[in-house]
Amino acid sequence: MAFAILASFVSALAALQVANGALTRRVTCADGSVTSDAACCALFPVIQDLQANLFDNGGCGEDVHESLRLTFHDAIGISPAIASRGQFGGGGADGSIALFEDVETNFHANLGVDEIIDEQRPLLQRSNISAADFIQLAGAIGVANCPGAPRLAVFVGRQDATQPAPDLTVPEPFDTVDSILQRFEDAGGFTPAEVVALLASHTIAAADHVDPSIPGTPFDSTPELFDTQFFIETQLRGTLFPGTAGNQGEVESPVPGEIRLQSDSELARDSRTACEWQSFVNNQAKLQSAFAAAFRKMTILGHDEGSLVDCSDVVQQPPAPASAAHFPAGLSNADIEQACASTPFPTLPTDPGPVTSVAPVPPS
């Protein structure tokens, strides 16, 4: 009896080891890279090309910011509500924004994305992967160059678009909170909390066209870092315009050289999103995990995940966080416009020294 039990235990252990081996099976590619699936091998030369010829050898600059923006502007181009009316509702993350650039870049919400599409095009053409996969890969690899960023999901196997996405699927900075939340819910069932998480992308973003007189104006004081400053500084009382006043979709910001979108300001103060917004203020770990989860959902819009290959292990480990939550010099808790009714705004230190202007993000 004891022998039978022992034999059964050994058999079970062997089966577990086989199962674990299957789960952890690795593939060695022709260039020596190791990954989880042979389909992912094609990505390594593409990544090398991106880093060397688009991202300034691993930098977190303008082309990273714009590549991340492009992932969203392509993926959000899907509307089941439009499709329910018998019209084409878009294919989500299907590369249509690049494949039908002459159509989609003329949509008002896509103003300026033609620049990164054109910069990416030579790399896409020599990549041997779909435009849909390339756009999402470029965003994930670029973000991983930024200190404090999470590793983002990468999938391959998307089919490229055969027609452009419809207009009015990309939210605008002058849209109401109601409109923005409805658009995200329609596109992919995103909750208000997931919308807030996706806006963590603005921590490494800059605006070129909201105020055309000051291109490259960042949304927070540390655009080279994936940190929580965006969520802090959007809750500070606005006192100035960094360039000219009266621009559609812009409201006053708290720091010289920093721009604030109307939509960011209103989402930071709306009762449906304010507490979630504030929850990121001094929680880098939550910022990373929530953004990674929301990006994973966004990056496969229009596709069945089961039909795709998960190649997330090709993404490099991002540099460690390089800053702690703080107020810019000259500002403090007294300058916060408290919007979360249930939790006080955290007490944070203030940067020492005189008030300075945030420098624009240099062009690539």
Catalytic residues: 73
* Dihedral, CA of residue 361, residue 111, residue 182 and residue 265, to nearest 10: 40
**94 labeled binding residue:** yes
* The pair of three-digit structure tokens given for residue 279, joined into one six-digit string: 């929850």
Q: Residue 22's Cα: distance from chain center in Å?
A: 32
Spatial separation of the C-alpha atoms in residues 292 and 219, rounded to whole Å: 20
**11 labeled binding residue:** no
β-bridge pairing 27-28 and 34-35: antiparallel
**264 labeled binding residue:** no
Residue 217 pairs in a beta bridge with: 207
Q: What value does the CA radius of gyration of the chain take, rounded to a whole number of Å?
A: 22
Residues 6+ apart with CB under 8 A from 125: none
Q: Are 260 and 337 in contact (CB under 8 A)?
A: no
Q: Residue 149's Cα: distance from chain center in Å?
A: 10
**227 labeled binding residue:** yes
**74 labeled binding residue:** yes
- Give the number of residues written for the chain: 364
In the 3-class helix/strand/coil scheme, how is 9-54 assigned residue by residue?
A: HHHHHHHHHHHHHHHCCCEECCCCCEECCHHHCCHHHHHHHHHHHC
Q: Are 236 and 230 in contact (CB under 8 A)?
A: no
* The pair of three-digit structure tokens given for residue 331, joined into one six-digit string: 């500002």
**167 labeled binding residue:** no
**102 labeled binding residue:** no
**From its phi and psi, is residue 214 left (phi > 0), alpha (psi between -120 and 50) or beta?**
beta
**186 labeled binding residue:** no
**304 labeled binding residue:** no
Detail the residues annotated as belonging to a binding site for heme b: 202
Detail the residues annotated as belonging to a binding site for Ca(2+): 74, 92, 94, 96, 203, 220, 222, 227
Detail the residues annotated as belonging to a binding site: 74, 92, 94, 96, 202-203, 220, 222, 227
